[in-house]
Amino acid sequence: MPKIVDHDERRLELVDATWRIIARLGIEGATMREIALEAGFANGALKPYFPTKDTLLAFAFSHVFNRTNERIEAVTAGKTGIAALRAFCVEVLPLDEERINEARIVIPFWQKAVNDPEKAAIHRESMEQWHAALLGHLAEARESGAVTTAVDDDALAGQLLNMLLGAQIWAALAPEGQTDLGLNEQLEAFLALLTR
Amino acid sequence: MPKIVDHDERRLELVDATWRIIARLGIEGATMREIALEAGFANGALKPYFPTKDTLLAFAFSHVFNRTNERIEAVTAGKTGIAALRAFCVEVLPLDEERINEARIVIPFWQKAVNDPEKAAIHRESMEQWHAALLGHLAEARESGAVTTAVDDDALAGQLLNMLLGAQIWAALAPEGQTDLGLNEQLEAFLALLTR
């Protein structure tokens, strides 16, 4: 009986191998050959799944974004207003080794996107989604009286979102092994300004 | 009489050619050959100036950082407190075509730095310098009574700095030709929270 192959499963194995290789060798060093080797595939065996490195990368980045969104959904469930805002941001901030590694992966994606309109559009869609979520939580916070500032919510959500993006750079370029970067304090500072 | 060559001048010509090529082809497409062609150099003529692409990139990035710092110095001269804070941030924010192009260049540098401790250290030194400058202006603003919040200046400076970094990504991945990204409004929102 031939071995039954779960193709979705194998795609995810390849994604995981891709992360490990990018983290170790950088995006330029992450050749299809290195990724196949890392995942235990024969060299040509990647092609049916991902014909090019680009299709593999696009899939891999979508996967990380989806995984982050699943975590956000889990931690904000049942929360509204400032509590939801805090939970959302804490989940996106690179506060531990796993998320610092994700930051080290999102930067190569951004770099690719600078010269690739399709990847830039993926990024923008994701950010619009996050911006809308932050706006929603700000509106809840206003409704409950927790936020009273006359400053425009749209600008506040944008400011917070850019801080979350900047934090990825800060973390990815921090000295090896340094995980306490004061990012949580920055978030709390911003929330304190909003709610005092 | 042999032509007298100004080597510093030629280095800067190469830097300018490098920016144009990176903006057009991305950092991976920016080969020494393409850069030489763009700068009007014979293929081998780059070597005496920059033996490798890496040394050229390191020089080029330092140059952009220095240029930004010169602009910051010019616009903050004679200013203190919130006025200096605003002028500093406005100068770093990618608010026009020139600075959006600079953002498109700094992202490949960050990407390189993820797997290159020396470049990461250059980035961190620059950011520590900026962080100290922001802290100084915040202290001035407190002294004059413009900032009274109990929130820690260190966290506020970090938040603002990360927003400036995130704005580079936002701008570099915005649709071609779109220069109004609401970044100035975000800065004003933050300053309004600080000073109300």
Nearest to A189 among B113, B156, B176 (CB): B156
CB contact (8 A) between residue B174 and residue A117: no
* Residue B123 forms contact with A (CB below 8 Å): yes
Q: CA B161, CA A170: separation in Å to the nearest integer?
A: 10
Nearest to A162 among B112, B113, B170 (CB): B170
Q: CA A30, CA A47: separation in Å to the nearest integer?
A: 15
Indicate the residue type of B161. L
pLDDT tens digits for range B75-124: 999 999 999 999 999 999 999 988 888 888 889 889 989 888 888 998 99
Of B131 and A44, more confident: B131
Of A100 and B76, more confident: B76
Task: Find the radius of gyration of the CA atoms of chain B.
Answer: 19
* Residue B6 forms contact with A (CB below 8 Å): no
Q: CA B97, CA B53: separation in Å to the nearest integer?
A: 26
Measuring CA to CA, which residue among A167, A156, A168 is closest to residue A193? A156
pTM: 0.90
Nearest C-alpha in B relative to A107: B111
pLDDT tens digits for range B25-74: 877 788 999 999 999 998 788 889 999 888 888 888 888 888 899 999 99
Give the ipTM of the model, two decimals please: 0.89
Q: What angle do CA A184, A181, B172 make, to 5 degrees?
A: 90
